[in-house]
Structure 1
C-alpha cells in the first residue's frame, strides 16, 4: 500500500482512495499511476510506460498522453499547489510526491475494497437523452446475460455502456471490467487484451481457455467496447465465454451485431433532433436531446 497526499494506492486490488473514498479511475490511468508510484523520484521513459500499461498491444504516444491527462485530472495535479507527476521533456515522467509504504490497510473499510474491483471509466455527470436506454439495457443485461449495443459511430454506445456498468456494479459486487478494443489492430490480441485487463498473464497459447477458467470463479460483467474492427475475434471470444461461464455477463458495443448464439441486440438510435421547420422556435428546438447535447 502506498500513501501520498490525501491518496492511498492499493495496487494489488486496483484501488485508489482519496481520504478513504474510492476514486473513479480508468484502467489505463490506474496502471500508469501504479507504475510511476512504484518508482518514485525515478524518470520512467514513455517507452517503458507503454510497455507496462499496454504489454500486449502496440499503441501511439497519443494514447499515453490521453490517459496521463485523465490521471492528472483525477489527482488534481497542479491544483492548489498539489504536484504528483512531473513531465521531463524528451525523457518521460517522474512521480515526485513524497510517499509512505505499509504492508496492510486495516483502516480501509473492507466493503470498499470488495466493491471496487471495477476499472470503469468515469460516468458522465450528465448523460443527455440516454437515461431510458441505460435503464432498459441494465434490465436486459441482467436477464439475458449477453447484449450488444449496436449503432453508428459517435452515437453514444460507449457512453451508455459505461453508464450501465456503473448502474449494475453492485449487482456484480464490483467485478465489472471495461475492455477497450478500439486501439487493437491485430484481432489475435483480443483474448490477451481481455486477460491483461483482468490482471491475468496467460501461461499458454490458449488465452481463451485460461480466461474461462478464471471467470468460472464468480459473477462478472465484461464490457467489450468497440468490437467492429475485430468482430470475428470478439464474437468467438464472447461465444465461448457465454457458453462456458454461466455467471459471466457480456455487454458489447459495435457498429454491427456479432451474430452469435446467445447475443441480444440493442439498437441505439441517434438522439432526437428538431424538424426542418422554418416556424420552429428556439425554446422548442432546445427541448430535443440532440440540441441539448450540441449546446453542452
Structure 2
C-alpha cells in the first residue's frame, strides 16, 4: 500500500516503485485512480465501466482484463500482499489496511532519504540589476521562512525565484520544489498539484491533510510560482503549511501579496530607464538597467547596433513605453534583427 500511496503521480499519470516506473496501460491507470478515490469502498462493475470508458460501450471482459493487469503490476498476491479484492457479481474494492493495527509490528523508519523530487528549472537568463535582490532575499527567507516576491507581470519574479532556488540548493540538501501554477485555473487543485509533485497520491478532494502530514517533519524550500490568479487558495494552503511545518520555507511569486500571517513581501520594481525629460547620450543611457537589457538581448539575437545618439534615443523611447518591464523589453529586443535592418524608424512604425 505504501508503494501505491507514495508512487502514484496523478498529474504525470505515472506509478513508481522505489523510484522506478511501473508499466501500466492508460486504461489500467484510470481504473486505479477510480479505485483509489474511494478506498475500502466497493465500486460496482457498472460504475467502473462508466467512469473508465465514459464515451464507449465495452464488455465486462475488458474490465476484467485490465483489473488482472493492474493486479500484476501492483504485485497483488505476492508475499501475502492484497490490494484489489473482488466481490463476485458486484464489483471491486481497493483495500487500504488499517495502519494502526500494524503500528507496533512495523520496523523503525529508516533515516530520511535524499530528496528525490527536486525539479527546479535551469536559470533562465543572466539577470541585470537584480544583484541586491539576490543578495538580500536568501537571508530574509532564512529569517522569516515565508517571502512573496510581488511585482507587475513580466517584471522578472519567476527568474529571480529560480535564481534564489539555485543559490539555496545546497543549504536545503537539494530539497527545493518548484510549483508552477501558471497553467492551473482551478483553485481546488493547488494542494493536489503540490502533492503530486512530491509523489503523494491524492485520496480525496482535499489534499491538504496528506500534504501537511508529509511536510510536518521535512526541511524543504517550496517555491510557489505565479499565484495571483489563485491567490485565495494559495494563501490558505501556504499559511497552513507555514504554521504546521516549522522547517518548510516558502518562496512565492505573485502580482499581489497573499496577505496572510507570517508572509513578508519583497517588491520587485521594473528596470530603471532614463527620465522622461532627459535625452542622454549613448554612454549615459547604457548605465540604466532597462537599456542594458535591451542592448544585451538585441546583440545576442544577431542585431547590429551602432550606438549613435539617434539610435539610442529610439531604444530609450522603447524602454520607457514598455515601463521597464524585463519580459517586454526582451521580446522587443529580439525583434530588432528579425524585423529591422536599422532600429531608427522601426519602432515608430510599430
TM-score (norm. length: structure 2):
0.52
Q: Does 1:185 align with 2:189?
A: no
Q: Distance in 2 between matches of 1:201 and 1:261?
A: 29
**Residues 32-87 of structure 1: CA distance to partner in whole angstroms, max 9, x if unpaired?**
9999x9799xxx9xxx7xx99xx9xxxxxxxxxxxxxxxxxxxxxxxxxxxxxxxx
Q: Distance in 1 between matches of 2:21 and 2:250?
A: 33
Which secondary structure state, in structure 2, belongs to the residue aligned with residue 265 of structure 1? strand
Q: Which residue of 2 aligns with 1:77?
A: none
Matches within 5 A, 1:257-272: 257-272=257-272
How far off is 1:218 after superposition? 1.8
Matches within 5 A, 1:1-296: 114=114, 117-277=117-277, 279-295=279-295, 296=297
The answer on whether the counterparts of 2:117 and 2:198 sit within 8 Å (CA) in structure 1 is: no
Which secondary structure state, in structure 2, belongs to the residue aligned with residue 270 of structure 1? coil
TM-score (norm. length: structure 1):
0.61
Q: Distance in 2 between matches of 1:130 and 1:158?
A: 12
More helix by share: 2
The answer on whether the counterparts of 1:135 and 1:164 sit within 8 Å (CA) in structure 2 is: no
Q: Distance in 1 between matches of 2:241 and 2:294?
A: 39
Q: Distance in 1 between matches of 2:256 and 2:115?
A: 33
How far off is 1:116 after superposition? 6.7
CA RMSD of aligned residues (A): 3.0
Q: Distance in 2 between matches of 1:162 and 1:230?
A: 20
How far off is 1:279 after superposition? 3.8
Which secondary structure state, in structure 2, belongs to the residue aligned with residue 178 of structure 1? strand
User: Which of these two proteins has the greater Rg computed from alpha carbons?
Assistant: 2
Q: Distance in 1 between matches of 2:150 and 2:256?
A: 6
Instruction: Give the length in aligned residue pairs.
Output: 200
Q: Distance in 2 between matches of 1:172 and 1:155?
A: 27
More strand by share: 1
Q: Distance in 1 between matches of 2:278 and 2:272?
A: 18
Which secondary structure state, in structure 1, belongs to the residue aligned with residue 178 of structure 2? strand
Q: Distance in 1 between matches of 2:14 and 2:194?
A: 20
Q: Looking at both structures, which has the greater relative contact order when contacts are Cα pairs under 8 Å and sequence separation is at least 6?
A: 1
Unpaired runs of 5+ in structure 2?
1-6, 34-112, 298-350
Q: Distance in 1 between matches of 2:178 and 2:258?
A: 18
Unpaired runs of 5+ in structure 1?
1-11, 13-27, 56-112
How far off is 1:286 after superposition? 1.2
**Residues 107-151 of structure 1: CA distance to partner in whole angstroms, max 9, x if unpaired?**
xxxxxx947742101013511111211221111011100000000
The answer on whether the counterparts of 2:117 and 2:197 sit within 8 Å (CA) in structure 1 is: no
C-alpha distance 122-264 of structure 1, shift in aligned 2 (>3 A): same
Q: Distance in 2 between matches of 1:125 and 1:33?
A: 31
The answer on whether the counterparts of 1:115 and 1:170 sit within 8 Å (CA) in structure 2 is: no
Q: Distance in 1 between matches of 2:188 and 2:247?
A: 25
